[in-house]
Amino acid sequence: MSNAKKKASRLPSPVAGTYEGDYGILELEPDPHITDGWLISVNGVPSSHVVLGEPRTLAFEYMQWIATGLRAHVADHLDPASLRVTHLGGGACTLARYVADVYPESRSTVVELDGELARLSREWFDIPRSPRVKIRVDDARDVAADFSPASRDVIIRDAFAGAVTPTNLTSVEFFADCHRGLAPGGVYIANCGDHSDLRGAKEELAGMAEVWEHLAVIADPPMLKGRRYGNIILLASDAPLLDAGSTAHAVATRELLGGAVPAQYKDEAWVRQFFSGAKPRRAA
């Protein structure tokens, strides 16, 4: 099978190459540093990383931070035996694989706009079958607008068009739909890609503050100081986030500082000062 762009037929295992997705070019390449590791890019932008047989291996630092924040919140507030997780933006289902392995009784729904990427991910990778991991080909904004009240415990937004999150997934109206969909004690976690001015993160947090009681942030110090483009993890809940007195908080702090890219957890007081003066985004 050539490395030229092609529509994939049924494949028994991952095959490096470029493929036509529904919204652009999908590239699959082996990770030269990790056995059975695969990198998936969409239109030239790294989108997902999967290690076959090792769902708990997360190569992207920001995914490690999401996982740390998620586990800490579940430990403090949620029942892992009945965890309902919605992933808005799925890529190759890296985080859904992780959640299914860490919480075997959980149920994840992955909302992915690109149907061909969803199909190939099922074909190539060891993604648990529904109902443990259900893949829904749909628009994340439309799905959020139809959330039933208290119908899920965790919402993870990791959706990008190129290197940017679609603006309709950053508005107060979107946050209100997610808030409605979360059960008591639930948590919203978003991967925000931002530039050195940090304007996007500040505007998102200002909007999130209008619908959730508690906010927090996870990122590495250079990013928080506005020195480069990178990822900031935004967390929101009506339940306290990473209670400073809890065992979960201590564990999360050690994990974040001990990673290959040391990160920091910033509490509510820091977050509110951080976005002070920013105007939330609203739907047109």
Tens digit of pLDDT for each residue in 70-121? 999 999 999 999 999 999 998 999 999 999 999 999 999 999 999 999 999 9
In the chain, the largest separation of any two C-alpha atoms, in whole Å, equals: 56
pLDDT tens by residue, 115-155: 999 999 999 999 999 999 999 999 999 999 999 999 999 99
**Single-letter amino acid code for the residue at 66:** I
Is the separation of the CB atoms in 65 and 158 below 8 Å?
no
Any residues with CB less than 8 A from the CB of 12 and at least 6 apart, and which? none
Is the separation of the CB atoms in 217 and 236 below 8 Å?
no
Q: What is the pLDDT of residue 5?
A: 44
For the residues 149-171, what does the mean pLDDT come to?
93
Instruction: With a cut of 60, say whether residue 232 has pLDDT above it.
Output: yes
Instruction: With a cut of 80, say whether residue 4 has pLDDT above it.
Output: no
Prediction pTM value: 0.93
Q: What is the pLDDT of residue 249?
A: 82
Neighbours of 279 (CB within 10 A): 10
**Single-letter amino acid code for the residue at 220:** D
Q: What is the pLDDT of residue 12?
A: 56
Kindly state the DSSP code that residue 103 receives in the 8-state scheme.
S
More confident residue, 252 or 103: 103
How far is the C-alpha of 37 from the C-alpha of 55, rounded, in Å? 11
Percent of all residues in the chain with a pLDDT value above 70, rounded to a whole number: 96
For the residues 2-26, what does the mean pLDDT come to?
72
Q: What is the pLDDT of residue 8?
A: 41
The secondary element (H helix, E strand) that includes residue 156 is strand 152-157
For the residues 197-209, what does the mean pLDDT come to?
96
Q: What is the pLDDT of residue 178?
A: 98
**Single-letter amino acid code for the residue at 125:** F
Instruction: With a cut of 50, say whether residue 224 has pLDDT above it.
Output: yes
Q: What's the distance, CA 89 to chain centroid? A: 7
Q: What is the pLDDT of residue 11?
A: 43
How far lies 178's CA from each of 5, 125, 186, 275, 283, in Å?
A: 37, 29, 10, 21, 15
**pLDDT category of residue 247 using cuts at 50, 70 and 90:** confident
What's phi and psi for 237, nearest 5 deg?
A: -165, 160
How far is the C-alpha of 145 from the C-alpha of 159, rounded, in Å? 16
* 220-247 exposure pattern, b = at least 16 Cβ within 10 A, e = fewer: beebbeeeeebbbbbbbbbbbbbeeeee
Instruction: With a cut of 80, say whether residue 6 has pLDDT above it.
Output: no
How far is the C-alpha of 222 from the C-alpha of 232, rounded, in Å? 11
pLDDT tens by residue, 30-48: 999 999 999 999 999 999 9
For the residues 194-222, what does the mean pLDDT come to?
95
Q: Span 61-274: which CATH code?
A: 3.40.50.150
Percent of all residues in the chain with a pLDDT value above 90, rounded to a whole number: 84
How far is the C-alpha of 252 from the C-alpha of 67, rounded, in Å? 10
